[in-house]
Amino acid sequence: MAEEHKPRTPTTPDRTEIDPILQFALLFTVKVETPFTLYGRGSTRQDAIPVTVAEPYVCPGEERPISRSVHLARLAAFDPACRTCSRRHEAGPFPLITPEDLELQARAARRSTWVTPTGIRAIFRNELDRPRAMRWGLALGQRLCEQWKPRVATPESEPSSESPCLIGDEFNGSLTEEVDIVARPADLPPGPVVVVGYDSRPHSPEIVHGLGLGLRRLGCRVVDIGRVSSPCFRFAVSHFSAVLGAYVTGGSNGPEWTGFDVVDERGVPWTSETGLRDWERAAADPAEPVCRFLGGLRSASVQADYENGLRETFHGLRPLKLVLATNQPPLARLVQKLVDGLPIDVIPLSLGTRGRNLFSSRDPDVVRLGEAVRNSMADLGILLADNGEQWSTVDEAGHLVALPDLAGLLAREALRQEPGTSVVATPELATLLSRLAVRDGGVCHTVSIPELATHLLGAPPAIGFDGDGRVFRAGERLVCDAVLSIGLLLQALSHGDTAVSRLLAAL
């Protein structure tokens, strides 16, 4: 007998039948106790799948939601914000992370100081984020306002009364959040001008945002020059007659680092001995702003003026082929622009972002540069650091040029161009440079790194070397620019057709 046909009972579809768009949304959510109903594609109300309303993860101090995977990753990395998060117990497949675990890990990883010999250095987000950067800005603004004496405005140096850089001006961004802005009294003088800029790291704009807000809450007028190299930033501080400049950078460290470099109006950097430690102590507990008048914000570009100042160094050069290695395309484009129209063939060599030792023959980037020079039969190779200040070179055989030899070649050219130039160097370079300076009619001064800038400005014209790949030139202000120093090296090579190795051997 034929089997009797029975009507098919609708079955509940599994999760794979949910609309893909809804599946994707669920990845960014967690379940709570409020019931909700979603329908599978092509299903009827009877085939509905009971699920729950989704609540997004939002880290303390942030507004935008994050995915569950990011939430778990931050828990596993002991992110500082997790210590106050109400959902830190939602650890997924990982062992439950308690607040005590987070605090113990934070204490173990916490460094006693962020001060280095040349700046402030910290890990982005784990140690320094936008709210903490604002505290550093408050501390710096308080120090500046205590020492600030208003100067008479000039068209070249100070913003005019119509400039968007006066205290109390409105700003169309979020820097004015939670600040009670009122009209500036007519008898209140404008605050000090501070130039801020940042390097190529993707998180640097966030740090400069917090720093600028802290400065403006104390009444400082902030000139934001955007993403620039460190030498261009130093130029901008002088160009705008600012009392100070703060540059957001991680220096020569890896991409996860951030921090601040500070220079005064003459280009002299703050060091661990001259201001950085006091700033760090003040940033730990900055005073509450007493100024209710938000300082102005002005965006400006100085790249064209900066490039014009470099052009006089790149002239009268002989035909040369050089390999330029850097991970900063703007620096490579700048050098190429400066040698356009000259018999200089620049071969770019792109590098990755990493910490490197410019004067180690075993450094992977130095080895790669040497191979590129040999393969292209170039006259020399140049390795530019991320900050645009430090650099090293290899000769026509791809061999790394020792720092004392490079310093000697540059010092000799500086004395040839301007007899009587003072040569200032740290002790590890002074032996060779003293002999060269005496032979070429100059004098060499041996100083420590903290004394280098002061000594250079006290005896202009001068050229100085810090033993770490930086070359300083001193006139009315202190200049530390790798591109400018490269121009000086090319001029030294253009007095004849002698190879780099032979010129060094003649020292």
ω into residue 461 within 30 of 0, thus cis? yes
The size of the chain, in residues, is 507
Q: Is the pLDDT of residue 34 over 70?
A: no
**What are 330-374's pLDDT values in tens digits?**
999 999 999 999 999 999 999 987 778 899 999 999 999 999 999
Give the Cβ contact number of residue 499 at 10 Å: 15
Q: What is the per-residue pLDDT across 211-260, written as a single tens digit (0 to 9) for each?
A: 999 999 888 999 999 999 999 999 999 999 999 999 999 987 888 899 99
Q: Based on the number of CB atoms within 10 Å of its own CB, is 368 exposed (0-12), middle (13-18) or buried (19 or more)?
A: middle
Q: Is the pTM of this model over 0.75?
A: no
The closest alpha carbon to 136, from 236, 193, 217, 229, belongs to 217
Query: Domain 120-300: which topology?
Result: Alpha-D-Glucose-1,6-Bisphosphate; Chain A, domain 3 (3.40.120)
Q: Would you say the CATH fold of 307-505 matches that of 120-300?
A: yes
Structure tokens at 256: 């996860």
Distances (CA, A) of 446 to 184, 451, 455, 475: 51, 10, 10, 19
pLDDT top residue among 269 and 95: 269
Nearby residues of 206 by Cβ (< 8 Å), 6 or more positions away: 129, 130, 133
Q: Is the Cβ–Cβ distance between 74 and 81 less than 8 Å?
A: yes
- Please state, in angstroms and as integers, the Cα–Cα distance from residue 498 to each residue in 379, 408, 440, 484, 493, following that order: 10, 16, 20, 22, 7
Q: What ranges do the domains of the chain cover?
A: 15-109, 120-300, 307-505
Class of domain 307-505: alpha beta
Strand partners, 446: 425
pLDDT digits (tens, 9 = 90+) for 271-319: 888 889 999 999 988 877 666 577 889 999 999 999 999 998 998 899 9
Give CA–CA dist 49/16, Å, rounded.
11
